[in-house]
Amino acid sequence: MLRVTALSLAELRERSSEKWREYPADVLPLFVAETDFPLAPAITTALQRALDTGDTGYVASRTPLAESFAAFAERRFGWAPDPARMRSTADVSMGIVEILRRVTQPGDRVVVTPPAYPPFYELVSEAGAEVSRVPLRDTGTAWELDLDGIRAAFEDGATAILLCNPHNPTGTVHDRDTLVALAELAEEFGAAVVSDEIHGPLAQPGTGFTPFLDAGDAARRVGYAVVSASKAFNLAGLKCALMVTADDETTAVVRGLPVEVEWRTGQFGLLAAVAAFAEESDEWLDGLLRTLDENRVLLEDILASRLPGARYRIPDAGYLAWIDLSALGWGENPARRILKEAKVALHYGPAFGAEGAGHVRLNFGTSPEIITEAIERIAALVGR
């Protein structure tokens, strides 16, 4: 069984990406969604080959990317998307904006379900639309889409929903029935569903991750999925994502996007994504999922013992923990004090919407040592 373990802090500090350059060296960075693991070996090989041959030109118009994602989706999710209905672009954010531009009119409302990945608010406005907020419902043990609230937003004129499947920051894997119901609701109102599935490959086994386009006939007609290898395989800087559709009308929308949208795909991103989606990387991804499973449980254990005021639910997917620190009395945005006094950088809860008051988002895609040290540092603030 392959083990995927994080690099040491000294090695990580050699990196020059946002996670490792935003703050001084005395700060433990657990904010932005980059991970601290080495690359999957097949990716290193593919990129090394490109370096050796100077294969750094434009992405070709015929590449194996769509076929390799289709095969990955079939193996990992039992979903068989059609490679002929996929187009690449630079990243998931760009795919979302370009699709929203086409499926909404200027000033239309697009449903976002807070707490939500902060750039969602900006992506909607970049596309010329406005956000209609329908917060997730907290059942006391989980979060779920508020289908009644979404219906009300559609009745009120919203023309699309930006779905996060699995959801960032809560790590929620929406269940199939909910997605089927959402699709039927969207179809009833002629609304589009843009499903951001960047965290899909990181759904833990047994959580029942359903790609939106595999959630029934209505979903195939109303849905646009935007997928990428970038979160699971830590390739965000290389720039490659795929827009996927499953119906002639939605496919025509994506085919109608300017060719420049596709030209912005990064060559390294594409080469790395093909290697990530290849069968030979499955064992690495399984190893990563095991490590993340251990980390999400470790976090629960140390929060319970060292920071019992924290409220945290183990996420179904990904490496992001949504932690409610309201009980500690550290105000609206506890990450500020934590950064200043504990020297741990977390993502600010309020950036995810009003529901994020008193919350922080912590990235546990790292080593048990770093997670433990971060919580120890934060716990030392209690009563101080």
Give contact residues for ligand PLP (rule: CB under 6 A).
33, 91-93, 117, 164, 168, 196, 198, 228, 230, 236, 241
Kindly tell me the burial class for residue 78, based on how many C-beta atoms sit within 10 Å of its own C-beta (0-12, 13-18, 19 or more). Answer: exposed
Beta bridge partners of 87: 243
Residue 210 Cβ vs ligand PLP, minimum distance, rounded to whole Å? 16
In the complex with ligand PLP, the residue whose CB is nearer, 129 or 218, is: 129
Q: Are strands 160-164 and 311-312 parallel, antiparallel or unpaired?
A: unpaired
In the complex with ligand PLP, the residue whose CB is nearer, 235 or 379, is: 235
Residue 315 Cβ vs ligand PLP, minimum distance, rounded to whole Å? 12
Residue 96 Cβ vs ligand PLP, minimum distance, rounded to whole Å? 7
In the complex with ligand PLP, the residue whose CB is nearer, 21 or 340, is: 21
Residue 316 Cβ vs ligand PLP, minimum distance, rounded to whole Å? 14
Give the relative orientation of helices 368-379 and 282-306 as an angle to the nearest 10 degrees. Answer: 20
Residue 359 Cβ vs ligand PLP, minimum distance, rounded to whole Å? 16
Collapsing DSSP states into helix, strand and coil, what is residue 98?
A: helix
DSSP 158: -
Residue 232 Cβ vs ligand PLP, minimum distance, rounded to whole Å? 11
Give the relative orientation of helices 267-277 and 41-53 as an angle to the nearest 10 degrees. Answer: 150
In the complex with ligand PLP, the residue whose CB is nearer, 19 or 221, is: 19
Residue keyed to tokens 């904010």: 31
In the complex with ligand PLP, the residue whose CB is nearer, 159 or 230, is: 230
d(CA 104, CA 127): 8
333-369 residues labelled b (16+ CB within 10 A) or e (exposed): bbbebbbeebbbbbbbbbbbbebbbbbbbbbbbbbbe
Residue 277 Cβ vs ligand PLP, minimum distance, rounded to whole Å? 15
Residue 92 Cβ vs ligand PLP, minimum distance, rounded to whole Å? 3
Token duo for residue 329: 């009395």
Q: Which of 256, 255, 229, 223 is nearest to 242 (CA)?
A: 229
In the complex with ligand PLP, the residue whose CB is nearer, 117 or 330, is: 117
CB-based contacts of 328-334 (< 8 A; 24+ apart in sequence):
328/382, 330/358, 330/381, 331/358, 332/357, 332/358, 333/357, 334/358, 334/359, 334/360
DSSP 116: -
Residue 95 Cβ vs ligand PLP, minimum distance, rounded to whole Å? 8
The beta-strand segments (E) located in the chain are 28-29, 86-89, 109-112, 130-133, 137-138, 143-144, 160-164, 192-196, 223-227, 241-244, 311-312, 320-324, 344-345, 347-348, 359-363
